[in-house]
Structure 1
């Protein structure tokens, strides 16, 4: 089940790594995809449960992209983040008063990945990120969709990050997501 609050916390964490508590929207989209992909590589499980797609500027996590673009609204998103434009570049800022301690959707393992990704790409601008994700040595599952988009199957990502039997890992991930969903429903029933 997709968790928009967690997506907001991931982007806020990445933005807090920048001096101005802000990150360009395009760079944020790329870093979310790369971090999610790294989570799959390290733990055989993504940070975000959502569809991924190839777009002209590279791969994206689809629901998170829709949130960033303002196509979908979420109260936690607007509590944590605000969108602005600086020098004609759309930028995501962390709301005043929000600190890392407020980002409780993130596990320690996810924070470790975000720290490594943030450090690795800290000197790259949004167009450097697009170029990096277009390189088939870095992201072989992205294919230029022309002016539209095309789905990136999760099995392609498992294969690209080095898993020999991607379907086995996708089956395990699907079972785990189902169990997580059951626990969330149980929590809501007990607390409601």
Structure 2
């Protein structure tokens, strides 16, 4: 299941974490925080924030188009995405990026901001490698572990539907989802995809 990437929300979410960290942040850490925010919003409200395409990689889930924005990889980003990113984010080096302007919260919903705050408050004290280890505990990444460990692939596509599966006891900081709630959230995802397919 793929959705239409929201480059404005993604840029502001990345900007949010840079500002929260004091103005700049490690790129890998920010991408893990994006994952936790998207995951929270998906499991709480039936949609992610960024609508990014996720891949399972050695160091956990990666929001691929957020990574392209941070790398300023203009071969994979549209001109309007580049222009918008340049107004808010600046690449410092291969490992860090900085905020250039205040977060434009009008781009984000209240539940988006709730999810970003959740990710920051719960995971801000971990570094990028600790966060990678944390992401390895969730079933949406674990199902790809064997293929990644055997080097059959360096990355594997992740479905948002798999984000609805509950991890083992003690891993999840949020209430576990009942089967009924999972079905309802899955239906919301399918409905969102159907609406987008009409307008795309």
The normalised TM-score by structure 2 is 0.77
Bigger mean CA offset, 116-125 vs 64-73: 64-73
Q: Name the count of aligned residue pairs.
A: 174
2:9 is aligned to 6
Does structure 1 residue 82 correspond to structure 2 residue 97? no
Aligned equivalents of 1:50 and 1:121: distance in 2? 20
Aligned equivalents of 1:119 and 1:151: distance in 2? 28
1:173 is aligned to 189
Checking the alignment, whether the CA contact within 8 Å between 1:155 and 1:167 is kept in structure 2 is no
Does structure 1 residue 56 correspond to structure 2 residue 71? no
Checking the alignment, whether the CA contact within 8 Å between 1:45 and 1:173 is kept in structure 2 is yes
Using the TM superposition, give the Cα deviation of residue 167 of structure 1 relative to its aligned residue in structure 2, in angstroms: 6.0
Aligned equivalents of 1:108 and 1:118: distance in 2? 15
2:72 is paired with a residue whose SS is: coil
Deviation digits for residues 113-151 of structure 1 (CA, Å, limit 9, x no counterpart):
1112111112111111111112x2xx2210332451111
1:23 is paired with a residue whose SS is: strand
2:126 is aligned to 124
Q: CA RMSD in A?
A: 2.3
2:92 is paired with a residue whose SS is: strand
Match of 1:162 among 177, 183, 187: 177
Structure 2: which 5+ residue stretches go unaligned? Answer: 167-175
Aligned equivalents of 1:162 and 1:69: distance in 2? 35
Bigger mean CA offset, 166-175 vs 25-34: 166-175
Checking the alignment, whether the CA contact within 8 Å between 1:27 and 1:129 is kept in structure 2 is yes
Using the TM superposition, give the Cα deviation of residue 76 of structure 1 relative to its aligned residue in structure 2, in angstroms: 0.8
Q: Within 5 A, what are the aligned runs for 1:18-167?
A: 18-19=21-22, 21-71=23-73, 72-73=76-77, 74-85=82-93, 90-95=95-100, 98-100=101-103, 102-134=104-136, 136=137, 139-142=138-141, 143-144=144-145, 145-146=148-149, 147=151, 148-160=154-166, 162=177, 164=179, 166=182
Aligned equivalents of 1:157 and 1:50: distance in 2? 13
Using the TM superposition, give the Cα deviation of residue 47 of structure 1 relative to its aligned residue in structure 2, in angstroms: 0.8
